[in-house]
Amino acid sequence: MIHRWLIPLMLLLSFGAHAAGSARWNDFATRFISADGRVIDSGNGGISHSEGQGYAMLLAVAHNDRARFERVWQWTHRRLQTRGDALFSWQWQPDASGGKVGDRNNASDGDLLIAWALLRAAERWKQPRYRGQALKILADVRSKLIKPSRFGPLLLPAEKGFEKPGGPIVNPSYWLFPAFAEFTRADRAPVWAELRQSGLALLAAGRFGQWQLPPDWLQVGETLTPAMSRRYGYNALRVPLYLAWAGLDTPERIAPFLAFWDAHPDHLPAWTDFDGNAIDPADAQPGIHAIVALLRQAAGAVRFGDGDNRDYYPAVLELLSRQAATEVRR
């Protein structure tokens, strides 16, 4: 039972959280989105990538910012969706002439983020054309990026370069758990529910190091092994965010992350190496702290810090964590 005197306080807190989130979105857009809709990765040489475009589109829908959504989408469509299919070149490099595609290969997380944002935009603003564009992307993901395995379907990180003699290499953080149910409803293909299960199976089996964490990259061969780097780092730290956002943050699944964070009360390391269990000596930026806050307080109101993020990536992680908290509480 909610006492009457609590209702104005709850409304005030809700309004305050919404206002803070909107202010942070506007700050993010001012700092990292150009006038023509290019999302600038300030911590990575000023490049742009399909992942960043997708995140910005998703957040624009969440903040009912249709003008920015359309600018980001149009830039993405004109500059990155030029491969001859519905997928996106993953990287754009700025230069004196305005920039160019740096790599025509796609990135499946960027493809899925853009499709998810388009589906949400179609629903929010009643625009069937966005839905049609999303379904074309999802169809090409299904036809080009899914590979069978003993764990269920695997999501290849890109069309080229990740099928190896020792087994395909995948990125656990590319499993976009909070989007799969929406993909199933829109696309009516069983693979999205199957990917949800395969991702959870990989996370259960593919744990490494002292804290039994998922790696940034994972080779799925006769055994599961970390690939490309033996580290839980800036890719894999999105895994707990997506688990919480999808309501899949069971105690067993989040225990390794909590153990890692609890082991370092003096600062929050963003990464750890599995060989020797070395950790990041620096304290992570606030956006990574926001993921920890989301996991620790998933059952109630999440209290996020007020620090400033220097770079694009932690800034977007904070906004995503805030959005996840909003949706989990509904």
Tell me the sheet residues that pair with 169: 219
CA 188 to chain centre: 23
**Phi, psi (deg, nearest 5) at residue 41:** -85, 95
Task: Look up residue 299 and give its DSSP letter.
Answer: T
Q: Measure the CA–CA gap between 142 and 188, rounded to whole angstroms.
A: 12
Q: Measure the CA–CA gap between 116 and 111, rounded to whole angstroms.
A: 9
C-alpha closest to that of 188 among 120, 126, 139, 245 = 139
**Catalytic site includes residue 318:** no
Residue 299: how many other CB atoms lie within 10 Å: 9
Q: What are the Cα distances from residue 177, in Å, to 40, 48, 170, 231, 304? A: 25, 24, 15, 22, 22
First to last CA, the chain: 18
C-alpha closest to that of 24 among 298, 294, 303, 309 = 309
C-alpha closest to that of 202 among 161, 147, 165 = 147
**Of the residues 27, 36, 41, 51, which is catalytic?**
51
**Catalytic site includes residue 109:** yes
**Of the residues 41, 109, 159, 249, which is catalytic?**
109
Known catalytic residues are 51, 109
